[in-house]
C-alpha cells in the first residue's frame, strides 16, 4: 500500500499531532515520532478539501491521521470507550490510514470555535449538538460541508473526525510497515 507523508509545506495544512505530545486525553505522548501519513486515496481527498477551504479563506490544522495499530491499542487500553474509540480488534479507520482529525483555521491561523476541544469525549462533540454556541454550530457545518464536498464521510459523534467511505476495505497498518515508524 502507498502511504504518503502529509507535510505543512507541501499540503497547505498545519500539523499538530496530539498523540505526539502529552496534550491529549492520555496525558502522555503516544507516538515516539510524529509523522502525518495518509493512504494515497485519503491524501488525494485531503488535497481537494484543502483547496476548497483555501477558496473560502481557511486552511486545516491536523490533529491526527494514520494511527498505527499499536497506537490504537494504547488509546483503547487507556479509555476503552466504543463511542469515541474503535476497538483495535476490529480496527480504526485511522489504523488503516483513511481517517483524519482536523479543524479549520482562519486567515490569521486561529482555530475556529467548534464548541468543544478536540477529543472531548462528550455528547457536546456530536455533529448537530444544539447546546453549543451558534457560531460553533456554524463552524462545524462549514467544516462538514468542505469535507463532504471533497468526498469524505464523517463520524456523527466527533466533529473533528472524517474518513473515507468503506474504511474496512483498506488494510490495517502496523508501525513497522511505515517508511518512518511512529511508535519506535
Active site residue 5: no
d(CA 163, CA 81): 19
Q: Do 75 and 101 form a contact (C-beta atoms < 8 A)?
A: no
Q: To 5 degrees, how large is the angle CA 68–CA 27–CA 77? A: 50
Task: Give the up-direction half-sphere exposure of residue 78: CA atoms within 13 A in the CB hemisphere.
Answer: 16
Return the C-alpha cell found at 170: 483498506
| Residue 83 three-state SS | coil
For residue 146, give the 3-state DSSP assignment.
Answer: helix
Residue of 7, 51, 54, 158 marked active site:
158
Catalytic residue numbers, as ranges:
158
Amino acid at each position: 500500500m502507498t502511504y504518503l507523508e502529509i507535510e505543512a509545506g507541501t499540503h497547505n495544512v498545519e500539523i499538530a499531532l496530539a498523540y505526539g505530545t502529552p496534550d491529549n486525553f492520555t496525558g502522555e505522548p503516544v507516538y515516539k515520532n510524529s509523522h502525518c501519513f495518509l493512504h494515497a486515496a485519503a491524501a488525494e481527498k485531503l488535497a481537494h478539501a484543502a483547496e476548497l477551504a483555501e477558496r473560502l479563506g481557511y486552511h486545516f490544522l491536523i490533529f491526527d491521521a494514520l494511527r498505527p495499530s499499536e497506537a490504537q491499542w494504547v488509546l483503547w487500553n487507556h479509555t476503552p470507550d466504543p463511542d469515541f474509540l474503535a476497538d483495535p480488534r476490529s480496527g480504526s479507520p485511522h489504523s488503516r490510514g483513511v481517517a483524519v482529525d482536523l479543524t479549520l483555521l482562519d486567515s490569521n491561523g486561529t482555530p475556529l470555535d467548534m464548541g468543544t476541544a478536540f477529543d472531548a469525549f462528550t455528547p457536546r462533540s456530536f455533529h448537530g449538538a444544539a447546546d453549543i454556541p451558534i457560531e460553533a454550530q456554524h463552524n462545524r457545518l462549514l467544516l462538514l460541508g468542505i469535507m463532504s464536498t471533497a468526498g469524505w464521510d464523517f463520524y456523527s459523534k466527533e466533529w473533528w473526525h472524517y474518513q473515507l467511505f468503506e474504511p474496512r476495505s483498506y488494510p490495517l497498518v502496523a508501525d513497522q510497515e511505515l517508511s518512518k515508524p511512529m511508535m519506535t
